[in-house]
Amino acid sequence: MWFLLLLAALLFGCPTPPQFTEVRPGLSCDRATRVAYRTMLALGYTITDVVRASPERTGGITGTKTLRDGRQTTGRVTITCDAAGAVIRPVEDSLLPDFEFSRAFGYSFKELVRSPEVEEPRAGTGLQVLVHVVSPQEATLDLGGPAATGATAVRVTVRNNTDRAVAVDPERIELVDAGGSPANALAGSRLDAAIAAGPGGAAVRSAPLRKGRIAANTTLVGYLVYPAAGYREARITIEDVETGESEGFVSPIE
């Protein structure tokens, strides 16, 4: 019997004490999953698995982290939810845990759940460009499924916090990989082949970044798909509509 109990503990982790369980009335399934995901990232974990919570299915986030002494630890949380709210439980991967993970997760979750899930600008004025690689886990959370197959989907945000209109052209947005090689966004049949089937791909297909004008004090957001690679930065050229002058930006990939 003791062997079976030990095996169950190894498989399912140590039960979470009540004080580390986050009971959140009114918190939706999607938001509970997203905040749990952001919490794990904030704690320094590399996310390895995401299961979206729903009233019919227990969700969860799993990640790994390398400690200062070189050891690798696994962090996991489960999410159950219904119309009344959500319950988020950290799961310890040790037979004799000190509950450091559960304690840290609870503190961070409490802080992050108070913040709105909106991408804050780096500055209140000027022209800002953000290029963000949509990871498979983020595609599951944000888009409902994979965004691209054998390719890299990115979300481009251009905030024109100036008093002048500017123009953006996807053909003038290059991504540069770790070796310094640039790549242009896929188009035509190559793009069609790279966009994944299902809701994630449909979301990317329905909101592409198109060539066009961005009025003063407005923001443009859209998706582009590039050949699969580990990109480090983006090189973007933005044109001033009134003068026709172009300005180049180098933006780190996030």
Which tens digits make up the pLDDT trace of 88-111?
999 887 666 668 888 899 889 998
Residues of the chain with CATH 3.30.310.80: 10-112
- Please state which CATH number belongs to domain 10-112: 3.30.310.80
Residues of the chain with CATH 2.60.40: 126-252
Q: What are the C-alpha distances in Å from 249 to residues 172, 233, 234, 235?
A: 11, 10, 8, 6
Determine the straight-line distance between the first and last CA of the chain, rounded to whole angstroms: 50
Evaluate whether the domain defined by 126-252 bears CATH number 2.60.40. Answer: yes
Asked if residue 188 has pLDDT above 90, the reply is yes
CB-hemisphere CA count at 13 Å for 58? 8
Write down the pTM of the prediction. 0.75
- What does the pLDDT look like over 2-44, one tens digit per residue? 444 344 444 444 556 666 788 889 999 999 999 999 999 999 9
CA distance 137 to 186: 22
CA distance 53 to 30: 7
